[in-house]
Structure 1
């Protein structure tokens, strides 16, 4: 986990720069567009991850960690229905996940976002205190269990690495995380390039 944190730091920082939710004049429309972009990344990526993680690492409890239902709860509160959700753009340039190590590295990025999401959640609740924009389900993922869920993830990942027969397992996990940060940042930048969050 420490190696992941260290070796993905620059990738993490570049991706954070593409997240535009902390701005003081964020509008409901800007918030909705960001959720739409997240949805476009998470839908295809979680589908791919489930093929690798469901059952492969039981200690991950991956089925409890999927975020698409939470994003769709938030987007429905902002006016979407099943048909309009299906029409939202989907990311075509996903990180390459040729094996379980890369999938675990990818999942590290998604799970880590629940930690940074706590800061975003506090900002959103202040910003939209008097505006009905929905339950913030995505950024409220795990509720009071954010810390325990993150620690459980770290323990499961560390155990999987310890049990791996491949000598390059750790390096492949790191590469999966780096590639996920890069793909995520590129997708967010693209999706927000022509849409100001203030509009």
Structure 2
């Protein structure tokens, strides 16, 4: 199923990736902070929806270990946010619908893939902000040395949760919708400040 997901979401993934400009040599600290704020506004509704749909159903997914919102909060606090300013951050109002478990797993596939792909971004950020002014990069350091094992565990849990191939198109649709949400939200948030990203 992971290979099918990768193939069927490739164009959606590529479009979403083009909106993430964290690898730019011109990235500023304010641009980095703005990107984290955007991610916070997207992960908040996505993780809430995933918890509502999946919590307790598949212990092998280890959902509690996969939530990224606390890591984004830690990074944003390191960049000057407090409880009040975090509460005022805009939140994406049109997250993808999750009518069932397969769609929710498609959304989780995108979030877990972002964690895996974030390792490249982490290497760039640590070099780019070598003086440490950007904080500890908690979001991009998620899972530490366990990124690979966590990705493999997700793939195994996905197959156990959706063993019937007839469900694969629904998982794919959930992933495609989530990539589209990433693209739409990041374009919206960053539209007025492209040069700082």
Same fold per superposition (TM over 0.5): yes
Aligned to 2:76: 75
How far 1:173 sits from its partner (Å)?
0.4
1:113-192 equivalence runs, <5 A? 113-162=114-163, 164=164, 168-192=166-190
How far 1:196 sits from its partner (Å)?
3.0
Decide whether the 8 Å contact of 1:27 with 1:197 is kept in 2. no
Decide whether the 8 Å contact of 1:29 with 1:197 is kept in 2. no
Q: Distance between the aligned counterparts of 2:111 and 2:195, measured in 1? A: 23
Q: Distance between the aligned counterparts of 1:198 and 1:38, measured in 2? A: 16
Decide whether the 8 Å contact of 1:18 with 1:189 is kept in 2. yes
Q: Distance between the aligned counterparts of 2:3 and 2:70, measured in 1? A: 30
How far 1:188 sits from its partner (Å)?
0.6
The residue matched to 2:194 in structure 1 has which SS?
coil
Structure 1's unaligned 5+ residue stretches are: none
How far 1:58 sits from its partner (Å)?
1.2
Q: Distance between the aligned counterparts of 1:121 and 1:19, measured in 2? A: 13
Structure 2's unaligned 5+ residue stretches are: none
Q: Distance between the aligned counterparts of 1:197 and 1:65, measured in 2? A: 32
Moved more, 116-125 or 49-58: 49-58
CA RMSD of aligned residues (A): 1.1
Deviations 1:63-95 (A, max 9, x none): 110000000000000000001000000001111
Q: Which portions of structure 1, spanning 4 or more consecutive aligned residues, are displaced by more than 2 angstroms?
A: 196-199
Aligned to 2:192: 194
Decide whether the 8 Å contact of 1:31 with 1:197 is kept in 2. no
The residue matched to 1:140 in structure 2 has which SS?
coil
Aligned to 1:3: 4
